Amino acid sequence: MKNSPLVTVVLPTYNRAKLLSKSIESVISQTYINWELIIWNDGSLDETDKVINSYKDKRINSYFDDNHGMSYGLNNSIKKSRGEYIAFLDDDDQWLENKLSHQMDLLLDNPGVDLVFGNFLNIDLASGEQGIGFDQNHYSMNLLEIENKSDDTFLITGNFFKCICLSNFIAFDTVVIRKNTVNKVGKFNETLRNSMDFDYWWRLALGGGKMAYTNDVVLKRIKPQGSLSSPGILTYENKIRGLDSCLQETLAKGRNDLVPYLNRSYKRAWQNMIPLYGSKRDFKGVQKSFYQSMKYGVNFGSVRLLFEAIAKPVKMP
């Protein structure tokens, strides 16, 4: 092994002491061994430090700071990274043991590829549902223009912007990206509590970055109840801020041709907020979300959601 690791694994964590150990162990269990793991403790108040300190592997380094959010932890971990490649892992998810091995083979064999991502098992603890990520996103992924690099590896050659707006099929913790690409794209947006990944993939593609993927399932993606990715008003508010950021970057690049794709995402985000506000009997929020969704074109789905939100019976105590 070289003195400096080839891959830096970045793992931000906040109050997930009960889940964190499985994430860490999934890195230690990798068949690929030339890595370092940076754990960024984002102001946890539980026993996260105790969990981290229980590991004596010299490839693991941890840092603690006040709670600033995931993007802050990512940016500061990347500053401290020594690897030529950056991989990401959430504190509630688990890699399969060949994850890094498969993806590093692809990146080392294809120097023109900036980022690789993979398939994943999606486990939603709130609903009890499980599914294969690429199957769940088949509608958008089937529209990608791709070049077959090997039996199970594909380079995205076109239609990325349209497809990523239909659904974000890139699971964050399946990604490995070249560090020199990160330096070109810049920091993760620290004003966003979620959707920072969508914003990042959009900026990378706007700059001409090349992405590839493998159909191999490389991750167990576990969504606990109350996670930032669970549907809620805050989730969609962050998504809209993320879309605002993407829109600014798009217009600055003179890519007005991409604005219609973002507009469809805006419409869906506002539509999804109509029933959420309705469930809270917040009719000002319902009205605002309805009118915002209609800015992107008259849609009978928005009208239906409006009437359902208003007519929803009040639950008696």
Lowest mean pLDDT among 12-26, 89-103, 271-285: 271-285
What is the per-residue pLDDT for 127? Answer: 78
pLDDT band at 1; cut points 50, 70, 90? very low
Computed over every residue of the chain, the mean pLDDT equals 92
What is the per-residue pLDDT for 152? Answer: 87
- Region 41-56 average pLDDT: 95
Longest dimension (CA), the chain: 66
What CA–CA distance (Å, rounded) separates 200 from 180?
15
Q: Is the model's pLDDT at 228 over the cut of 60?
A: no
Q: What percent of the chain has pLDDT over 70?
A: 94
Structure token digits, residue 232: 């809620």
Lowest mean pLDDT among 93-97, 266-270, 296-300: 296-300
Q: Is the model's pLDDT at 297 over the cut of 90?
A: no
Q: Which amino acid is at 312?
A: K
What is the per-residue pLDDT for 227? Answer: 52
Q: Is the model's pLDDT at 317 over the cut of 70?
A: no
Q: Helix 196-206 and helix 70-80: axis angle, to 10°?
A: 50
Fold adopted by 233-311: 1.25.40
Q: From start to end of the chain, where are the E strands?
A: 7-13, 35-42, 60-65, 85-88, 94-95, 115-124, 129-132, 145-150, 153-158, 176-178, 211-223
- Region 258-269 average pLDDT: 96
Domains of the chain: which residue ranges?
7-223, 233-311
Q: Is the model's pLDDT at 196 over the cut of 50?
A: yes
- Region 92-107 average pLDDT: 96
Instruction: Say which CATH class 7-223 falls into.
Output: alpha beta
Look at residues 139, 137, 134, 111 and name the one whose alpha carbon lies nearest to residue 213.
134
What CA–CA distance (Å, rounded) separates 110 from 116?
10
- Region 93-106 average pLDDT: 96
Q: Do 7-223 and 233-311 come out as alike in CATH topology?
A: no
What is the per-residue pLDDT for 226? Answer: 54
What is the per-residue pLDDT for 133? Answer: 95
What is the per-residue pLDDT for 116? Answer: 98
Look at residues 232, 247, 227, 181 and name the one whose alpha carbon lies nearest to residue 70.
227
Q: What is the pTM of this model?
A: 0.91
Following CA atoms 95, 97, 103, 109 in sequence, which dihedral angle do they give, to the nearest 10 degrees?
170
pLDDT in tens, 126-184: 778 899 999 999 999 999 999 998 878 999 999 999 999 999 999 999 999 999 999 99
